[in-house]
Structure 1
Amino acid sequence: MSMRALALRSALAGAALLTLAGGAVVAQAALTKVPAEVQAGTYALDSGHGKITWSVDHLGFSTYYGQFVNVKAELKLDPANPANSSLTATIPLTDVNPADDGLKRHLQTADFFDTANHPTATFVSRSVTVDADDANEATVVGDLTLRGVTKPVTIEVEFNQAGPSMGGVYKAGFDGEATIKRSDFGINYALPAVGDEVKLHLEGEFVKQ
């Protein structure tokens, strides 16, 4: 075989290897919106991209919004058997961001969170049930402890997507909705003028550990 033919064969082989390697990289880097394709394992919440937005009726005039930030959470995912998955979270009640500094101080008092005695709230899941008609939606039932009182809470969760994020870290993203009654946890200040029902919108990007 001539040198030219050998060189051509080597070039073609190299191109084939690069194509295969490139395909592998693309496959590894692909995002997925299919829950069954998510990598199993333990995930930690990226606190910079995880928060809880709360809203409550304010005297019938408006809906008031605020947020909890610096939330810490651990998610254990088992896509093959979602019922084995679990979620635990710790919410620092001092890291609440309403739109008013005076209200932020008031929320720390015994009228509301009583953070001197109860600086955090916690959530521990007890069950995860995937929607029979939509695998991207699930119901998570667990125990919320707030001001030393523990009550069951149901979170309706929607899976957004999973895959490599900026920096190459593998993430899984979710949104969630829940409603609680603050009076269930002994927060009775200004009832019923300020609403009892508090709606929670949860957003989280979880990083695979």
Structure 2
Amino acid sequence: MRIALIAVLALAATPLLAQTPGGQPGAPDPTRVVAGTYAVDSGHTQVLFTVNHLGFTEYTGQFTQPTGSLTLDPANPARNKVEVTFAIDKVSTTVAGLDTHLKAPDFFDAAKFPEAKFVSTGVTVNGTTATIVGNLTVHGVTKPVTLNARFVGAGNGPMGAKKLNVGFAATTSIKRSDFGISFGIPMVSDKVDLVINAGFVAQ
């Protein structure tokens, strides 16, 4: 059964692989990045959050299908800017009941605060890494945060118009109580680790 499943997956992937001879279309080569405006690739971008649950486990959920934009200028990194918005209703874990609870007033209160957003205020580039400072708004509260970002890759997409794609991964940690979300502390940790896996497509 397992062999049959692998064979089916391999056949399904064949049309895509046929368009990218020699390997993946993206590579961690900064010289491929060109100045311009990019839109978030919502289907390949995730905002992940991890909390400590009861002192037993690290538990991760995510916000899917975020939107936003990226302005890049390799010759003048001070002009770089990124905005990412994620809908609270798109929160997802492995437990449907928990997803519903996270949208409730105890936590994110999606009815009252339907979106969260990060807007950069400054970017400092150091090779293939960057420090991104900006403002994070969650639950109607805006706080400054610093993202530690790294360049993942760039290249022309293999399908459609084959536009330039760029990707980054960024991490930071926040206290959810700073944003007025204190339910369950300390049974569920105040500290939240965030990972943003972000893909962008040239406009």
Structure 1 CA distance for aligned equivalents of residues 64 and 33 of structure 2: 26
Task: Give SS of 1:153's match.
Answer: strand
Structure 2 partner of 1:175: 169
Partner of 2:99: 104
User: 1:31–1:162: 8 Å Cα contact kept in structure 2?
Assistant: yes
What pairs with 1:39-118 in structure 2 (closer than 5 Å)? 39-118=34-113
Q: Answer whether contact 1:32 1:38 (CA < 8 A) is retained.
A: no
Deviation at 1:78, TM superposition (A): 0.5
Partner of 2:22: none
> How far apart are the structure 2 equivalents of 1:36 and 1:163?
10
Partner of residue 200, structure 1: 194
* 3-state SS of paired residue (2:45): strand
TM-score, normalisation: structure 2: 0.84
Contact 2:32–2:155 (CA under 8 A) maintained in structure 1: no
Q: Work out the CA distance in 1 between the residues paired with 2:136 and 2:120.
A: 9
Runs of 4+ with >3 A deviation? none
CA, structure 1 residues 122+31, in 2 after alignment: closer, same or farther (shift >3 Å)?
A: closer
Task: Please report the TM-score for the alignment, with normalisation by the length of structure 1.
Answer: 0.82
Verify the 8 A CA contact 1:36 1:80 in the aligned structure 2: no
* 1:191 matched residue in structure 2: 185
Amino acid aligned to 2:48: T
Report the Cα offset of residue 192 of structure 1: 1.1
1:165-187 Cα shifts (integer Å, max 9, x gaps)? 22122101111111111000000
Corresponding residue for residue 144 of structure 1: 136
The alpha-carbon deviation at position 126 of structure 1 amounts to 0.3
C-alpha distance in structure 2 between counterparts of 1:142 and 1:35, whole Å: 23
Q: Over residues 150-202 of structure 1, what are the superposed CA-to-partner deviations in whole Å (9 max), with x where a residue is unaligned?
A: 00011111001111122122101111111111000000001111101111111
- The RMSD of aligned alpha carbons is 1.2
Amino acid at match of 2:141: V
C-alpha separation in 2, matches of 1:77 and 1:58: 38
Name the aligned partner's letter for residue 166 of structure 2.
A
- Letter in structure 1 aligned against 2:114: P
